[in-house]
């Protein structure tokens, strides 16, 4: 099981705060007991965000009642991804809204100006856009549409928006997927507001990429963590 400690939104914020460890969870997501966690080792993740590279410790805790083992990830760590959720969501938003290329985007968010080849590579930025647009096609599009209907905002539906980069796609299917994702992003912004969408887009990359969550619809449950921070699923 993974939970997130949301005190820091980016690697930069974390470094500026002298790199404290992730907080011990106050409540077990398995059995809801409180103050029940023992330390159960840790592992290191190498994380990159622009010019910063850090080894960040991910502590594991074990519930003494239900024996659930929980890893606590700092809020900017996306599971299985080396770049932080802030960088990934920035690339996606830009690609869906502005005429650009994967190569230019990779250079814009790369670790050092003029770095050659840029890191992340353009292939990695392509992969982020590809997996996110697939997820919108398979899960998220329908869920955002339903949320619009539930909120009485059916008028938002039907106004499709073109992704300014769709014309370069190598297949019609991919072009449609990019347009659909731009449209869903626009619907989500109308539904919950631009800053919430950005937060939710980041939250999306903190969850398992194949698990559908209502991240664009504001349906998030919260659990309190020790040290006055909040967990958001």
Where does this chain bind Zn ion (CB under 5 A)? 28, 30-31, 63, 65-66, 68
From CA 140, how far away is CA 163, in angstroms rounded?
Answer: 17
Nearer to Zn ion, 43 or 65 (CB): 65
Prior bond to 117 cis, omega within 30? Answer: yes
CB of 27 to Zn ion, least distance (A): 9
Nearer to Zn ion, 64 or 150 (CB): 64
CA 109, 114, 115, 118 dihedral sign is positive
Nearer to Zn ion, 4 or 81 (CB): 4
Query: What's the start-to-end Cα distance of the chain, in Å?
Result: 12
CB of 65 to Zn ion, least distance (A): 5
CB of 233 to Zn ion, least distance (A): 16
Q: Which of 222, 24, 181, 3 minimizes the C-alpha distance to 96?
A: 181
CB of 68 to Zn ion, least distance (A): 5
Helix 194-206 vs helix 85-97: crossing angle, to nearest 10: 130
Nearer to Zn ion, 31 or 157 (CB): 31
Nearer to Zn ion, 14 or 61 (CB): 61
CB of 66 to Zn ion, least distance (A): 3
From CA 169, how far away is CA 111, in angstroms rounded?
Answer: 27
């Amino acid at each position: 099981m993974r939970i997130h400690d949301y005190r820091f939104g980016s690697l930069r914020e974390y470094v500026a705060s002298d790199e404290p460890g992730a907080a011990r969870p106050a409540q077990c997501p398995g059995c809801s007991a409180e103050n029940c966690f023992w330390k159960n080792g840790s592992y290191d993740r190498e994380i990159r965000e622009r010019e910063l590279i850090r080894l960040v410790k991910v502590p594991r805790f074990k519930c003494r009642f239900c024996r659930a083992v929980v890893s606590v990830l700092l809020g900017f760590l996306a599971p299985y991804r080396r770049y932080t959720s802030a960088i990934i969501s920035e690339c996606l938003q830009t690609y869906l809204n502005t005429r650009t290329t994967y190569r230019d985007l990779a250079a814009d968010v790369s670790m050092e100006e003029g770095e050659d080849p840029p890191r992340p590579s353009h292939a990695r930025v392509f992969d982020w856009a590809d997996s996110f647009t697939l997820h919108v096609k398979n899960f998220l599009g329908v869920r955002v549409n339903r949320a619009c209907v539930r909120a009485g905002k059916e008028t938002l539906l039907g106004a499709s928006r073109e992704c300014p980069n769709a014309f370069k796609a190598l297949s019609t299917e991919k072009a449609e997927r990019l347009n659909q994702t731009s449209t869903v992003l626009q619907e989500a912004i109308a539904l919950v507001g631009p800053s919430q969408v950005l937060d939710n887009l980041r939250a999306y990359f903190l969850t398992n990429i194949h698990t559908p969550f209502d991240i664009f619809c504001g349906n998030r449950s919260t659990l309190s963590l020790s040290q006055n921070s909040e967990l958001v699923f």
